[in-house]
Structure formats: structure tokens, C-alpha cells
Chain A
């Protein structure tokens, strides 16, 4: 993120299901991968939710972090076409997808030819 040129980072897409946060285990895994990749994590979150809500769903990751630079780019996908476009243009190392995505959109994920790891989201508490 610095002005001093391109830096290494762990770049992942995260397919978030509506109203579900990521589990702690996934948060810790992302941070571990990021620490191995120059302490930088670039996440592109994709969901039907608005961007601020997408960030809010990543609270387990953000509160567990003390040292990694995290950049979250939030994208809205309202259709299968949106999702396909976002995934194929994203230059991702990996995709983490809430299991509902795998069930509903498995064929799109296979088409992208990027490694996909499913996870079980947890229903988010209502905001403060």
C-alpha cells in the first residue's frame, strides 16, 4: 500500500452470504496467509449486501488482527453474470465462498478455475 512501489500481498476473493459473518477459523487462516505474504491482505468481498455491511460482516477478521495491513474492496453482485465477471477479472490467489454460494453457483465457481474453499458462515448479530 505504500507509495514506494508494488508490494507483495495475499489476494483473495470472499463470497459473503447475506447477514452471515465469517467464522473465526477463516479469519485466523486469512491472517496467517497474510503474515506469510508480507503482512498484507487484499480482500475483495462480493455479496448482495452494501459495502459497509460487507465490512461489518468481516468483524471476526478485523478484531483478530493487530499487525496485517488489510484492504477490503467491497463489490455488489446481484446476478450470476455480475459474479462471473467479478471473479474472472479479479486476479485472485484463491476464493473463499460461503457454502450457500457453492450450492447455488457451483458451476460459475468451477468456470473461474481458481481454487475455491467453502466455509460455514455464522448469522451476524444486529449492529450497535
Chain B
């Protein structure tokens, strides 16, 4: 029995049917479907090895596990349904999450719009209140919580106390976690809170390699981001490019375990091996050649619009990569950040987002990048933030104008409400009463855009194998249901009645 058990709730402990994007479904409440079915769409139970160990586990948890194992600590990731087997022996329980309490985007937005708690929040609370976790606590198990959403505990001190969490760790944990866990194992007093600052962030050779497979073959190729947007916490971390040999070893950990998909994780995949914000051809090509040698299907986590434009204009790099990728698959999925169409706002909060192009030409950069992706079968999930501090009516009007220009390009645009993070983390959260008519118009435009393209994507690209037909049917039903609902209440909103219902 391991001394340290690492876990998370079902919305995280899943491979989302091999489609990362479906994981987002868990950030909303069940809409038009029973909760169980909703959860199955977003987060089916993963394949479990004999003792409750999932075959694939979230990459962040795998890093923590690797770091503990490397330091001689007996640790294992266990699926939440199997914690009962470990309740008597576990000395330390570690829980991680991307969005413990659904304060992050897009959960907070779903919550705000529907007025109902998102599934991920409900599911995490269920885990913490489950019989095995309560039994562990009764037996004196120490509980350590961490991950990208660690900050959310600061706003939930009552749950923190009720669930008996001993320590919350915020930041890159690999370097600090072994000593903390050792303290817990020895029964020493633990800090309530630990924020990992610059001096304790791991250097490249201190980042351990995963030893067991990650969900959907996710492997990290970079950490940090050089663009410095003020609302982003990633940018506070130092920039590190993971050497290609290390990336390859992690891909092989996945492939050898039968995970033939690969998901390259970086805040900007095209900046792999780059000097500053200008992509370089060779490292990106080499990375893809290496990855495609091993995996049957590839995806990117994030890329920036400016890098997409630059890479294509300078090297035709997008076409070259997609030519390689399309030997294995029809399209490539990626998340990109548009954030705002307001030029003045962009200058204030994300002046380097459009670099190397001037921020004044942000609209051209965005449209050009959308066009390049459309023509090369890259399907982006695009984030757009509303309610940013200092946002003006002019910014929102420019955003609306930009959304009109983007209508013709295949993409899913996901609006998000401002959540204070990064250099803006002392600002106020966006609240329902702050919503203006222009915000509603932006939301409605993104809804129209995304529904139109979601139907197209489902028809031409997504879930094409017969085995995936039930899931596809449910998604089609969901789109139909949302359309019906939105159409019915949009008629009652004067700001929207001038709009047509089609894109």
C-alpha cells in the first residue's frame, strides 16, 4: 500500500473520450440532460488497472507522483472510486484540480449565466465529502491540496476547514513537494499555505519526467510564456523549453502503455525553441517529426494568433506542419486566446500579445491567423474575456466588429468573464450586475458563431467512428436544446431582437 495517495474528482480523472475539448462540458451545470449523462459526456471513468490505479491520469498529478517517487516516497495516483481500499493505510492524501470550486473560466461564466452550480464544483465536493476521504481524515491522514486552482481555497475557508485540508500549495510544486510530504509522513507540523515563488520554481533539470501515462498523451514542451499579459498567471513563471529528448521519453511512457495520442502542451506550441516571440522553423518541425513518429493522433494545447500568422508568413510553417499531421488525421485542435478586440484595452493589458506585429494591427493579426487555421484544418477553441478592468464601450464595440469579421472562419469562440489572476489578481471578479447591453451582444454573437461552427465541425470532423455515434447524438441534442432555449429568451431581450438568428 502506498503511503501517499494522489487523486482528484471524476471531472478531472477521465480521458474525456480522447477529446480534451469535451472536458469543458464539465465546467457547466447539466443542461437539458440528467446529471449522470452530462458527466458521462464530459468525463467517463478511465480504464482502471487492478488496484484502482487509472491507466491515464492528469499530467499535473503525474508530475507530483514522479517528483515523490524520484525522492524515494511511495506514492500512487488512485481513481476516486477506489479510495476506500486505501482509507486505512494512507498517511498523506493529495488532491489536485484545475478548478476546485468553479471560479475559473469558463465554469464561473456558466454559473453566472445559468445561476446553477457547475458539475466540476459539485463533483469535487462529492469527493471531499465521500466516505473514504472522511474515514482517512478520521484516521489522521494529512490532506494537501494544490494545482492551478489552488488560489480558490483562499475564498472558501469554511470548506477548507470542514474538509480538513492541512496545506494548500499554490504554484509549481515539484521542488517543494517532497520536503512537505516528508514532514507530513513524519507527523511534523505543516504550513497551512505555501506559495511557490521564483526561487523555488524548478529549473529544467529539476522537472521530473512522468513515469506513468498522462491523459490523452499530454506532454509538456514548454513552461511559462514571454508575452506578459497582465491577466495571466502563467506569465509570472520563468520561461523554460523542455529539451526534445525529454519530451520524447515522456511520449514513449504513454505510447508503451497503449496511449497512442499525443497532446503537446505549451502556452504557445509554435514558440518551441524560439527566440522571444518569433517562431523558428527547425525546432518546431523537429518536434512534430519526433512526435508523429510515435503517436497516431496529435493535438496542441495552445498557440498564439500572432505566432500562427508569423510562422505561416515567414516559413509557411503551418502548411508544412499540417501536411505532416494530415498523414494521420483530418484536423488539429488547439486553444487560442483572442481575449479582446479593443485596441486601447489590448495596449494596456496585453501589449505583447500581437508581437512581433504592432498591437494597433491586432484585428488584422487575428483575422489572418483565423484564415490560416481555417485553410489548414486547424480548429481553434478561442477564448474571449469580457469584464476586464478598464474595458470601455469602445473596446466592446471593436470586439463586436472583429467578431463580425471572423464569422466566416471555422472556430468555437468561448467568452469568459474576467477572473482576477496574474498581475491583476487584486482586482474585482466580474459579477452578474456588471453585465451591460454590449456584454450581452458580445455573448450573443459568440453564441451564434459557435453554434453555427459546432454543427459544421460535428458533421465534418468530430466523432466519426460508429462507436462514437451515441456521444455524437447527445452532443447534437445538446446543440439543438441550447439553440431552442437561447432563441426563446433572446426574443425577450431588446438588444438582441435586431439580430438575426443565423450567422
Contacts and interface: CB of A to CB of B under 8 A. Distances in A.
B178 interface: yes
Interface in B336-373: none
B150 to A, nearest CB: 11
Interface stretch (A10-18, A65-73, A93-101, A112-120): A65-73
A3 interface: yes
Interface residues of B, number: 33
Given A39-B197, A68-B197, A53 B161 contact: yes
Contact of B154 (A1, A39, A50, A55): A55
Contacts of A63: 420, 425-426
Given A67-B236, A128-B103, A62 B195 contact: yes
A10 B157 CA distance: 26
Nearest to B201: A69
Given A67-B236, A71-B194, A72-B193, A127 B155 contact: yes
Interface in B411-430: 420, 423, 425-426
A3 B71 contact: yes
Interface in B187-224: 189, 191-200
Interface in B139-178: 151, 153-158, 160-161, 165, 168, 175-176, 178
Contacts of A67: 197-198, 236
B389 to A, nearest CB: 14
B157 A71 contact: no
B179 interface: yes
Contact of B199 (A40, A59, A74): A40
A113 B151 CA distance: 36
A70 B193 contact: yes
A50 B157 contact: yes
Contacts of B194: 1, 69-72
B383 to A, nearest CB: 22
A42 B168 CA distance: 15
Interface string A55-97: 1100110111111111111100000000000000000000000
A52 B189 contact: no
Contacts of B197: 39-40, 65, 67-70
Given A39-B198, A40-B199, A65-B195, A52 B153 contact: yes
Contacts of B426: 60, 63-64
B156 A2 contact: no
A69 B199 contact: yes
A14 to B, nearest CB: 12
B158 A55 contact: no
A106 interface: no
Nearest to B170: A62
Nearest to B194: A71
Interface string A12-31: 00000000000000000000
Nearest to B189: A73
Contacts of A1: 175-176, 179, 194, 196, 200
Interface in B223-252: 236
Nearest to A68: B197
Contacts of B195: 62, 65, 68-70
Interface string B398-422: 0000000000000000000000100
Contacts of A62: 151, 154, 193, 195
Nearest to B176: A1
A39 B193 contact: no
A25 to B, nearest CB: 14
Interface in B100-142: 103
Contact of A128 (B155, B196, B236): B155
B193 A66 contact: no
Contacts of A2: 175-176, 179, 199-200
12 contacts: A2-B175, A3-B71, A3-B178, A55-B160, A60-B426, A63-B425, A66-B236, A67-B198, A69-B195, A69-B198, A70-B197, A127-B155
Given A39-B198, A50-B157, A69-B197, 19 more contacts: A1-B194, A2-B199, A3-B71, A39-B197, A39-B199, A40-B197, A52-B158, A52-B165, A52-B192, A55-B192, A56-B155, A62-B195, A65-B197, A69-B200, A70-B194, A71-B193, A73-B189, A127-B156, A128-B103
